[in-house]
Amino acid sequence: MEELIQRIKKLEEISEELEPTEKQRENYHHQLLEFSNGFINTIHERNSFLERKEPISGLEVDGQKKSLEKIIGLYNEKVTPYGINPASGGHIGYIPGGGIFASAIGDYIADVSNEYAGVYFGSPGAVTIENEVLDWMKDIFGFPRSSVGNLTSGGSIANLIALTSARDHHKIKGEKINKSVIYLSPQTHHCIDKALRIIGLEDIILRYLELDESHRVKIDDLQQKINADKKSGLNPFLVIASAGTTDTGAVDPLFEIGKTAEENKLWFHVDGAYGGFFILCENKKHLFRGIEMADSLVIDPHKGLFLPYGTGAVLIKDKTAVLHSHHYTANYMQDTIGTDLSMSPAEVSPELTKHFRGLRLWLPLQLHGLEPFIACLDEKILLTEYFRHQLMEMGFEVGPAPDLSVSYFWYPYKKGNPDEYNKKLMKLIHEDGRIFLSSSTIGGRFVIRMAILSFRTKMKIIDKALEMIKDCSIKLEEGKAVIKN
């Protein structure tokens, strides 16, 4: 026994390193503060994009000790310079995540306290914070408090939970799959297709709906397709609307779609991952009329509320449908039985082990209140309008006036193929890297996209983008551009 005790004590000495002393923690804090201050204070001086095709070395895990100073140095040297800088206000290409500092404080507290936010029995306080945040969202979108909600890693898992619930509510399984129909926009986010495959609906019938000149679903086409499918003996069961598409930021006619779904007994799902929180803007509320009719809704706080990546949300009215797929129990969990199942996030999501995501939203809302979040959203709407106006002044053509803060543009090149010209311009913009923009193909035309949503995107960023576009255009016109392959 004495030998056993000595072996344990020896291991204890080694393992104790995982619990730094107070002095060591203070030193770590100092180094972390230096890093975060340096990163944030210089973020506007850095390029928003730097492509790197070569493999990055020096980040291997070799099991050897390194100082925190060296580790942070490696991160600064090997990670932050390359690719898109997602914390930069110059990221206006893909729809950006946010990264407000108060959320980092929330994550730090959540990680230090290591609260488990999966089951109410395990941490009633953490789960209550998550549910309070979800109740706040229910109020914003007109969902009843009896709805089920969950904070997810993002829109993909949120949509997965919602579509699983729609499947189970309508009992779409077995031979019924091949005869069942989903109606959606051609601009629906591709995570919907991934989710359908994952939940066993790969062979479902998908009806892509016609769009109007503003890229919104045509309601008459939806009704015509439903009628035709019913006459053919098929089973229409789900319609998916977008509250802000990724490509163009379009908000579908939610009220009309909701009424059509109700009349035809279809599950009505709204993907508002990008655009949902623009409902907080007084001059945009009208676009969201009817969102309260949805059976399920997805919104991403890491987009419209500027939180760090990894924060999505889903709201679903049919509690029974959600629990059907996600509620399971085990012998070792018998102590947790006795609370309302839907109170525990693990009962309404694929996740059992769950990060305490709620604190990264609850803390900033408590610290800042709601006003600066709304101001930020209003600002992005106006910056989009400003950007489009300045581009037209420079001779570019732009897409239809956007519903929200995503739009697109192209140069109407007359001396050759305009698509090839704009592709070359896009490459030059990426090589320049001051501001990150992306491209898409809309209506058969190659276009350059803007997605203005970062809380750090201000007028000076848009002016820098305009200056970059002008510089790249001059290079292209004068034949001075050397485009890298």
Would you state the pLDDT for residue 56? 95
State the pLDDT confidence band at 330, using cuts at 50, 70 and 90: very low
pLDDT of the residue at 375 = 98
Domain CATH code at residue 244: 3.40.640.10
Please, where are the H alpha helices in 332-458?
A: 359-368, 371-393, 418-432
Q: What is the pLDDT of residue 331?
A: 42
Do 126 and 236 lie in a common domain? yes
Please indicate, yes or no, if residue 136 is contained in any of the structural domains.
Answer: yes
Tell me what pLDDT residue 351 has.
Answer: 86
pLDDT at 80 over 50: yes
Same domain, 456 and 311: no
Q: In degrees rounded to 5, what are phi and psi of residue 185?
A: -80, 150
24 lies in a domain? no
pLDDT tens for 150-170 read: 999 999 999 999 999 999 999
The answer to whether residues 251 and 332 belong to one domain is: yes
Residue after which a domain boundary falls, among 331, 353, 368: 368
Query: Of the candidates 176, 171, 269, which has an alpha carbon nearest to the alpha carbon of residue 217?
Result: 269
Question: What is the rounded CA–CA span in Å between residue 254 and residue 90?
Answer: 32
- Count of C-beta atoms within a 10 Å radius of residue 91: 26
Which residues lie below 8 Å from residue 414, measured CB to CB, with a gap of 6+? Answer: none
Q: How many domains does the chain have?
A: 2
Give yes or no: residues 301 and 341 share one domain: yes
CB-CB contact of 455 with 304 (8 Å):
no
Binning pLDDT at 50, 70 and 90, where does residue 341 land?
low
The span from the CA of 395 to the CA of 141, in Å, is 40
Domain encompassing residue 204: 106-368
Provide mean pLDDT across the span 17-22: 95
Of 328, 345, 368, which marks where a domain is finished?
Answer: 368
Percent of the chain whose predicted confidence (pLDDT) is above 90: 86
Whether residue 305 is contained in a domain is answered as yes
* Tokens linked to 85: 């800088």
Task: Check residue 340 and give its pLDDT.
Answer: 57
What residues does 240 pair with on adjacent strands? 269
Instruction: Say what the alpha-carbon torsion angle 162, 91, 462, 440 is, to the nearest 10 degrees.
Output: -70
Residue 57, in any domain of the structure: no
Cα separation of 448 and 469, whole Å? Answer: 11
Entry pTM: 0.93
70-84, 129-143, 259-273, 342-356: the lowest-pLDDT one: 342-356
Query: What is the pLDDT confidence band of residue 346, given thresholds at 50, 70 and 90?
Result: confident
Residue 19 lies in a domain: no
257 half-sphere exposure, CB direction, 13 A CA radius = 31
Are 424 and 351 members of one domain? no
Mark which of 301, 333, 368 sits at the end of a domain.
Answer: 368
State the chain's maximal CA–CA distance in angstroms: 89
Give the tens place of pLDDT for each residue, 445-458. 999 999 999 999 99
Question: Are 354 and 430 contained in the same domain?
Answer: no
User: CA 315, 321, 325 angle in degrees (round to 5)?
Assistant: 100
pLDDT of 381-440, one tens digit each?
999 999 999 999 999 999 999 999 999 999 999 999 999 999 999 999 999 999 999 999
Question: At 246, is the pLDDT very low, low, confident or very high (cuts 50, 70, 90)?
Answer: confident
In this structure, the answer to whether residues 292 and 421 fall within a common structural domain is no
Residues 211 and 114 placed together within one structural domain of the fold: yes
Write the CA distances from 285 to 217, 240, 453, integer angstroms: 19, 20, 18
Q: Angle formed by the axes of helices 68-78 and 22-41, to 10°?
A: 20
In a domain, 4, yes or no: no
CA 234 centroid distance within chain: 34
CATH number of the domain within which 428 lies: 3.90.1150.10
Same domain? For 273 and 255 the reply is yes
**What pLDDT score does 335 carry?**
43
The pLDDT assigned to 233 comes to 97
Residue 46 lies inside a defined structural domain of this protein:
no
**Residue 336 pLDDT:** 47
In the predicted structure, residue 261 carries a pLDDT above the cut 70: yes
CA dihedral sign of residues 115, 120, 122, 125: positive
Residues 144 and 290 in one domain: yes
- Within this chain, do residues 245 and 303 fall inside the same structural domain, yes or no? yes
pLDDT surpasses 90 at 148: yes
pLDDT-derived band at 355, boundaries 50, 70, 90: confident
Q: Are residues 387 and 281 in the same domain?
A: no
Q: What's the pLDDT score for residue 420? A: 96
In-domain check, residue 36: no
- Among 353-362, 376-385, 473-482, where is mean pLDDT lowest? 473-482
Segments of 51-103 assigned E as strands: 83-84
